[in-house]
Amino acid sequence: QVIESGDIELPYQSLAFRQAYIDVYPIKGVTISAGKQTIVWGQLDIFSPVDFLLPLDINPMGFSLVKADNRMPQTTVKVSYYPLSNVEFSGYLFPMYEESGLFKNIDMGDNYTEYNGVKYYTQKMLPSGDQQSSSAARATWYASFMTAAVTYYNGFNNVFPVFREKYLGFDNYHQFQTEYGYYPKKGVGAELSIPLGKMSIKGEVAVSDDFATISHEGNQQMIDALVNYNNGYGSIPVYQAFYAVGIDADFDHWFYNLYLMSIIYFKNPAMNDFWGVYESLNGAYEFPSIPVFPTLNVGSYFSEEKKGAYGVALGYFTGGLGMFLYLSNQFNESLAWGLSADFGFNFSDFSMLMNNSNDGSGVSTNYKFFEPKLTMGLGYSI
């Protein structure tokens, strides 16, 4: 949708190694992996709350039901230890901060704007130096009647840049610094899968750091509270709980996935002094309500080998949101093709838009993410 009539083409080109790593087996029961690799967590097949502690990527071939297609490969050192055949302890070190290409081209500039007598400075925040590494640990138990795992993550908000404002003081103007980027984030997750024949009942929950943005509207008491209790930032540390329950089923000729998911927020006790001031001025703070959201995918295989499939998906997926009709098959072991028709939002759309929005033309553009689209792809694997 363009202010001036006409069509806009959003080209996208990419050439990269997705994965290149080595595995070393120094002693029995220990595996060390090092290099560029894709990490996927969680029990749910299509998306996992625990998996969302890891950075997003795009699948350039469009809609995909494979979680790994929409995870960014990272430089990783992973150590896995198997004290028993059905117990795994894994440690992860991500020594460098690598920003996802999905968000790398967001550019808000590094200058300032003035609005109603208030100056806003803009700055992008990227982890660097000896503060850029992140880590994680997982413990997984595989049994005939269940699979269970717990995860601890100590890193950054990889999934999307956080936007924050910091009060700089008053010098003829109230001055604020607008920051956007990546900040320290910790999270814990738990997952469970119970097999019932060719289907499994699954559940996951991830609790992690997040922010609640507070409107101060020039109120000096609120600004003073932000300065005294939150270093001047208008984004208050809170906790986010992302949970999902569902069924993954895979039969001889067809498959389905049915999930219910939701996100809730609650206060961080470390900020109780700030909330006391806020609520004395404004009353109880109400977090945004995100209702339980369903996701359904139903598909059928072309053959008993399960190398091609077609189906319909509706809801929220790792790489998209909306309704999708998809079709995929293989020419041979290495060459495969895919086709999807959808009415929805894809993260690949977002990436293409950001890569092509700064053309210098000055034309104001609103891209319709929710509109009919057709995506075709050809993939080759070694």
pLDDT at position 119 over 70? no
pLDDT at position 367 over 70? no
Which residues on adjacent β-strands are paired with residue 80? 31, 90
Q: Quick one: pLDDT at residue 108? A: 67
**What mean pLDDT do residues 238-250 have?**
97
Q: Quick one: pLDDT at residue 242? A: 96
Q: How confident is the model at residue 365 (pLDDT cuts 50, 70, 90)?
A: low
Q: Quick one: pLDDT at residue 11? A: 60
User: Which tens digit of pLDDT belongs to each residue from 181-225?
Assistant: 999 999 999 999 999 999 999 999 999 999 999 887 768 899 899
Q: Residue 286 is encoded by which pair of tokens?
A: 């109400």
Task: Output 180 or 90, whichever has higher pLDDT.
Answer: 90
Asked whether 57 and 14 are in contact (CB, 8 A), the reply is: no
Q: How confident is the model at residue 1 (pLDDT cuts 50, 70, 90)?
A: very low
pLDDT at position 5 over 60? no
Taking all residues of the chain, what is their mean pLDDT, rounded to a whole number? 87
pLDDT at position 17 over 70? yes
Q: Quick one: pLDDT at residue 379? A: 79
pLDDT at position 18 over 60? yes
Q: Quick one: pLDDT at residue 382? A: 73
Helix (H, G, I), strand (E, B) or coil at 288: coil
DSSP 296-316: EEEEEESSTT---EEEEEEEE
Q: How far apart are CA 325 and CA 374, in angstroms?
A: 10
For residue 338, which amino acid is it?
G
Q: Quick one: pLDDT at residue 3? A: 46
- List the one residue out of 257, 324, 307 whose CA is nearest residue 63: 324
Q: How confident is the model at residue 363 (pLDDT cuts 50, 70, 90)?
A: low
Q: How confident is the model at residue 352 (pLDDT cuts 50, 70, 90)?
A: low
**What mean pLDDT do residues 63-70 have?**
85
Least confident of 53-67, 73-87, 114-128, 285-299: 114-128
Q: Quick one: pLDDT at residue 115? A: 63
Task: Output 163 or 346, whichever has higher pLDDT.
Answer: 163
User: Which tens digit of pLDDT belongs to each residue from 328-345?
Assistant: 888 888 888 888 888 888
Q: Cβ atoms within 10 A of the Cβ of 224, count?
A: 14
Q: Quick one: pLDDT at residue 165? A: 87
Q: Quick one: pLDDT at residue 177? A: 83
User: Which tens digit of pLDDT belongs to each residue from 226-237?
Assistant: 999 999 999 999
Q: Quick one: pLDDT at residue 109? A: 65
Taken in order 352, 354, 359, 363, the sign of the CA dihedral is positive
Which residues on adjacent β-strands are paired with residue 153? 136, 187
User: Which tens digit of pLDDT belongs to each residue from 135-176?
Assistant: 999 999 999 999 999 999 999 999 889 999 888 887 777 778
- pLDDT > 90: what percent of the chain? 56
User: Which tens digit of pLDDT belongs to each residue from 28-41?
Assistant: 999 999 999 999 99
Task: Output 160 or 133, whichever has higher pLDDT.
Answer: 133
Q: Quick one: pLDDT at residue 2? A: 43
Give the CA radius of gyration of the chain.
Answer: 23
Q: How confident is the model at residue 381 (pLDDT cuts 50, 70, 90)?
A: confident
DSSP 236-262: EEEEEEEEEEEEEEE-SSEEEEEEEEE
Going by their DSSP bridges, the two strands 174-181 and 118-125 should be labelled as parallel
For 225-231, the CB contacts below 8 A with 24+ separation are: 225/274, 225/277, 225/278, 226/167, 226/274, 227/167, 228/274, 229/271, 229/273, 229/274, 229/277, 230/271, 230/274, 231/166
Asked whether 168 and 176 are in contact (CB, 8 A), the reply is: yes
Task: Output 139 or 351, whichever has higher pLDDT.
Answer: 139
- List the one residue out of 100, 76, 236, 206 whose CA is nearest residue 158: 100
